[in-house]
Structure 1
Amino acid sequence: MNMEGSKAPIIYLLSLVLFFSVVPSILAQEVEDEREFNYMKGSERGPEHWGELRPEWGNCSTGEMQSPIDLWHSRVKVVPKFEEITRFYRPSNALLRNRGHDIELEWEGERSTIEINGTRYILRQTHWHSPSEHTINGKRYDGELHMVHQSRDEKIAVIGLLYKIGKPNHFLSKLENQVRLISETTLEINVGVVNPAKIKMGGRNFYRYIGSLTTPPCTEGVLWTVNTRIGTISQEQLDLLREAVHDDAERNARPLQPSNGRKMNLYTHMIKNRQQ
């Protein structure tokens, strides 16, 4: 028997194990197939039934730390603390994908990261919801952008940005033609190099709490940062996002979830942009 030849399959298998243990899988975190669930109230696949559709989605029904929630001032603790969020965002190649339930922009590679409380998170993707999923003092806004980050040990941090109808959103304006190309399809297209630093994160305050992904499997333990500054998006842009997805996701906001006594803090912060 050729010992060198017998070692090759073993080495190959070990390489595969090492690869999949090191490279985090966003596909394992968020469901990509929009046919498995929808946002229609009363539907068998609607939000109130997500936890029943697959065993691994049980958190959607039984989880105690689900998102989104209402960020109600009387429940929020104002923390007299200056906290810095450091962005190491750099331009990199990106794919624009119509997932049916939303429009997602996914960056290739690991060129863009943020640092929160000493933990580095890699920017994986961003996607849009309309209307907003989070509310502030019961007020729901016209749209919400989620920037999904993941650490090496697969912890998830999401930055949520809220929008109201007004001037066109500058970042989304650069993608409008591509969104039209994938409207009502399941296509993805390469949109070339996109700089995530162009997504404005102004404002001096943000809410921070521990929640979950807002789509199945509703994974808990997500570190949420929701900016108090309300940006703008035009009515035409909002209509474009709604027309591009499937009919049952035109209003793709998960209903509010119980806070269950969770700690919600309001911080003063500073966002710094740095080069790696």
Structure 2
Amino acid sequence: MALQLFIIFALSLLLGIASAIDVFRGMEIGYSGHNGPGKWGKLNPTFSPCSTGKRQSPINIQRNLTVHNKLLKPLTRNYESANATLVNRGYSVGVRFEESPGDLLINGKNYTLQQFHWHLPAEHHIEGQRFAAELHMVHRAADNSAVVVSMLYHESKADPLFSMVMSISKEQITTLDSPLNSHCKKNARPCQPLNGREVDMYDELK
């Protein structure tokens, strides 16, 4: 069940990360070395929450610290075929959509899927376990608020891109990893402290 877990984060949780995805272009960032995650907060004033923010991601999800929120409603995903471009930013490989591929409906509010990208290995942990890869699907609403849907993958035989069985092959990992800059080969930020935050859980498969 953990392998099929959808983790939903609002922009407040990803402050300084989700917003940075679109403005890293042209900057020499890394996941190791002199411009690694510990230095991101100093690369640009906009990124200062990376150093000072208390609502940062990724996190280690511990079941005994999660709360089953019965008020959470199912996600309504309305995706469709759309033209897209495969993008290598050096620090991640992803897909940028040239037209709207559809929306994610959360509590009556629409968030349009804009892009998705991979992290190798996964950024978020579950009970201290790190998975082979993590897909981030970045959505934005008309008011520019953002929601990121995260999918965790374990290494196994290859599956279609959006298979509900979240597995990724060694060959696929190599394909996603090979174009990255040398200091971004493991493009996963270390887990950040919860700082008293509550992690609400919804079992989509119940």
Q: Normalised by the size of structure 1, how large is the TM-score?
A: 0.64
Q: Does 1:231 align with 2:154?
A: no
Deviations, residues 140-180 of structure 1 (Å, cap 9, x unaligned) = 00000000000000111011000011011312xxxxxxxxx
User: Following superposition of structure 1 onto structure 2, how do residues 50-199 of structure 1 map, counting pairs within 5 Å?
Assistant: 50-81=40-71, 83-171=73-161, 199=162
3-state SS of 1:61 partner: helix
Deviations, residues 197-229 of structure 1 (Å, cap 9, x unaligned) = xx23x4xxxxxxxxxxxxxxxxxxxxxxxxxxx
Percent identity between matched residues is: 37
Which ranges of 4 or more aligned residues in structure 1 deviate by more than 4 Å? 26-29
Q: Partners in 2 of 1:141 and 1:241 — Cα distance?
A: 15
3-state SS of 1:244 partner: coil
Unaligned runs of 5+ in 1: 1-25, 172-198, 203-229, 271-276
Q: Partners in 1 of 2:153 and 2:136 — Cα distance?
A: 12
Q: Partners in 2 of 1:77 and 1:115 — Cα distance?
A: 22
3-state SS of 2:178 partner: helix
CA contact (8 A) 1:34 1:99 kept: no
3-state SS of 2:69 partner: strand
Change (3 A) 1:82 1:55: closer
Q: Partners in 1 of 2:20 and 2:193 — Cα distance?
A: 25
- The letter of the residue matching 1:106 is R
Q: Normalised by the size of structure 2, how large is the TM-score?
A: 0.85
Q: Partners in 1 of 2:119 and 2:158 — Cα distance?
A: 16
Query: Which structure has the highest helix share of the two?
Result: 1
CA contact (8 A) 2:159 2:167 kept: yes
Query: Which structure has the highest strand share of the two?
Result: 1
Equivalent of residue 194 in structure 2, options 240, 252, 259: 259
Change (3 A) 1:82 1:60: closer
3-state SS of 1:92 partner: coil
Change (3 A) 1:100 1:252: same
Larger Rg: 1
Give the CA RMSD over aligned residues: 1.9
